[in-house]
Amino acid sequence: MRRRLLLVLLAFSALAVAGLAVPLLSSTAANRTHEFAAARTADAARFAALAGTALAGGPADQLRAEVRAHADLFGDGVVVVDARRGVVVARGMGLDDPGVASAVDAALRNQPRPALAPLRPWSTGDVLFSQAVGTGVRVSGAVVLRTSARPAAEDIAVRWAAVLLGALAAAAAVVVLAFRLTRWLLLPVDQLAQAMHRIGEGGERPHVDPVSGPPELRGLAREFNHMSDALAESAQRQRGLVADIAHQLRNPMAALRLRVDGLAAGSVRRSMQVEFDRLESLLDGMLALASADSTATDVAAAGGAASCDAVAVLADRLDAWHGSADHAGVAFAPPADPPASLPVRCAESELAQVLDVVLDNAVKYAGRGATVRWSAVSRAGRAVLEIADDGPGVPEADLPRLTERFWRGASAPGSGLGLAIAERLLTARGGRLALSTGPGLTVHIELPEAS
């Protein structure tokens, strides 16, 4: 949108500047051409007046002196002839020069001179001006003046340069104005887009400054702030409700478990204990999920400045799960050349919680005799941890649902919240959780590298 608005504003500005500059250039050239033609026509008329006196029998000394002074000053050529084409005065050119004879004939016939075409900065060559001596009824001679168009063309070039510099200055001012106007118009839109992005990432009440921009967008910014506050409050209440429910149910659950433990041994007691274990696991998962949502919100609001060494955290969690893996008949196989360290932008406790979820699933579901392998690499500023087992894996159709809350496979125990919690924690840090199968299950943990 910014690019399109700038293109429209700049296009109209360019047309406006060109619409002013082109006529001004044309009128400047026309005015200077008129000044040039008027000055040389006046000189030719003065010579014609002096020639009329000389051809009427008066002295020609003044005519010769004026012609000589003019030729020395301007470098022009002048020829004065009588009615029989006899040369009276000649300076700088003769009758045999190109175009002079035809100009003399036209002046003796008292023909009107064609208007001089407007000069341009690149105009060169000479221009002939002719003037009849006498009146329209009685022509006694002719004056032909040849002058260079170059001085007038140079003046036009100077004037055009001034006009073009002014046009460039105006264009620069218009460009600056267009950029400022575009920024003023679109700044609230950019802020709204950033705020919406923060809402999508779980940001805590993102607000838009309702000061800049046109009144309509300022009003929209205020309404957005009200909506953001309402959404944040609703999400906070929802997280609080989940945490409160899970917490409040733990006490009755503990009491019920004590009473069940006091019952006589039997299949009913064992089945009830299994169901109590599932219910307690579900409550623990709900508490963990509420904690993960709260952590994600805090991370988004704080900007996610925490960091840790992913390799060190992974090694620690592998060591912590080693006993459970041995009991389940699952082996941990390290990579051939593990990296010494891999700093990531994530809190150590959060990455440990994610790895516990992944390793717990691998130990539970890979099956006896399975091997869990891991790797850690850096790819284009992103740290990628891969934990793969060679167990039965999961059907391809179930992969997208593994991170859904409360979803469990057909025969899988647990609450169905582990991977959902892990994904929530990773996305809050700008990371990603991906799953692939065949053979076994591979978990890809991606996080931004810490500088």
430 pLDDT tier (thresholds 50, 70, 90): confident
Residue 170 resides in a domain: no
Q: Is the pLDDT of residue 414 over 60?
A: no
- SS3 category, 400: helix
Q: Is the pLDDT of residue 230 over 70?
A: yes
pLDDT of residue 413: 55
| Helix and strand totals (H; E) in the chain | 10, 11
Total domains in the chain come to 3
Least confident of 63-67, 370-374, 413-417: 413-417
User: Are residues 12 and 103 part of one domain?
Assistant: yes
Give yes or no for a cis peptide into 439 (omega within 30° of 0).
yes
> Which structural domain, as residue segments, surrounds residue 316?
308-448
pLDDT of residue 338: 82
Residue 47 resides in a domain: yes
Least confident of 26-30, 183-187, 267-271: 267-271
- SS3 category, 138: coil
Q: Which of 346, 356, 372, 373 is nearest to 419 (CA)?
A: 356
Task: Give the other-Cβ count within 10 Å of 44's Cβ.
Answer: 25
Q: The CATH number of the domain where 7 resides is what?
A: 3.30.450
Sheet containing 432-437, strands listed edge to edge, beginning at the edge strand earlier in sequence:
331-333, 371-379, 382-389, 441-448, 432-437
* Mean pLDDT of the region 373-400: 88
Q: Which of 45, 64, 40, 42 is nearest to 54 (CA)?
A: 64
pLDDT of residue 158: 94
Cβ atoms 147, 126 nearer than 8 A: yes
User: Are residues 335 and 290 part of one domain?
Assistant: no
* Mean pLDDT of the region 405-411: 62
Using alpha carbons only, give the angle 429, 433, 438 rounded to the nearest 5 degrees. Answer: 165
Q: The CATH number of the domain where 213 resides is what?
A: 1.10.287.130
Q: Which residues pair with 376 in a beta bridge?
A: 385
pLDDT of residue 192: 77
DSSP type of residue 119: P
Q: Is the pLDDT of residue 12 over 90?
A: no
- Give the contacts of 189 (CB within 8 A, at least 6 positions apart): 1, 213, 217
Least confident of 76-80, 302-306, 386-390: 302-306
Q: Is the pLDDT of residue 294 over 60?
A: no
User: Are residues 343 and 242 part of one domain?
Assistant: no
Q: What is the mean pLDDT of the chain?
A: 82
User: Are residues 338 and 207 part of one domain?
Assistant: no
- Token pair, residue 188, equals 């609230």
Boundary (domain end) residue, out of 285, 302, 319 = 302
Least confident of 68-77, 173-182, 311-320, 357-366: 173-182
User: Are residues 380 and 249 part of one domain?
Assistant: no
Residue 184 resides in a domain: no
CA 58 → CA 52, 108, 349, 416, distances in Å?
Answer: 9, 21, 119, 126
- Please tell me which residue, 404 or 368, carries the higher pLDDT value: 368
pLDDT of residue 41: 92
- Give the tens place of pLDDT for each residue, 150-206: 999 999 999 999 999 999 998 888 888 888 888 777 777 777 777 777 776 655 667
CA 150 → CA 25, 38, 70, 126, distances in Å?
Answer: 18, 16, 17, 8
Residue 237 resides in a domain: yes
Q: Report the C-alpha dihedral over residues 339, 342, 347, 353, rounded to 10 degrees.
A: -30
Boundary (domain end) residue, out of 302, 330, 345 = 302
pTM: 0.49
Q: Is the pLDDT of residue 95 over 60?
A: yes
pLDDT of residue 311: 92
Q: Which of 167, 158, 152, 165 is nearest to 30 (CA)?
A: 152
DSSP type of residue 410: T
Residue 147 resides in a domain: yes
User: Are residues 221 and 343 part of one domain?
Assistant: no
Q: Is the pLDDT of residue 302 over 80?
A: no
Q: Is the pLDDT of residue 407 over 90?
A: no
* Mean pLDDT of the region 322-346: 89
User: Are residues 244 and 345 part of one domain?
Assistant: no
Residues in the chain: 451
Q: The CATH number of the domain where 315 resides is what?
A: 3.30.565.10
Cβ atoms 127, 116 nearer than 8 A: yes
Residue 174 resides in a domain: no
* Mean pLDDT of the region 416-434: 82
User: Are residues 152 and 44 part of one domain?
Assistant: yes
What's the alpha-carbon Rg for the chain, to the nearest Å? 48
Residue 188 resides in a domain: no
User: Are residues 287 and 335 part of one domain?
Assistant: no
Q: Please report, in angstroms and rounded to a whole number, the separation of the first and last CA atoms in the chain.
A: 34
pLDDT of residue 227: 79
pLDDT of residue 35: 93
Boundary (domain end) residue, out of 256, 273, 302 = 302
277 pLDDT tier (thresholds 50, 70, 90): low
pLDDT of residue 442: 92
User: Are residues 317 and 393 part of one domain?
Assistant: yes
Burial profile 391-415: b = 16 or more Cβ within 10 angstroms, e = fewer: bebbeeeeeeebbeeeeeeeeeebb
* Mean pLDDT of the region 11-17: 85
pLDDT of residue 421: 80
Sheet containing 87-91, strands listed edge to edge, beginning at the edge strand earlier in sequence:
87-91, 77-82, 139-148, 126-134
Residue 83 resides in a domain: yes
Cβ atoms 315, 439 nearer than 8 A: no
* Mean pLDDT of the region 419-429: 82
Q: Is the pLDDT of residue 1 over 90?
A: no
202: left (phi over 0), alpha (psi -120 to 50) or beta: left
User: Are residues 134 and 259 part of one domain?
Assistant: no
User: Are residues 280 and 255 part of one domain?
Assistant: yes
- SS3 category, 186: helix
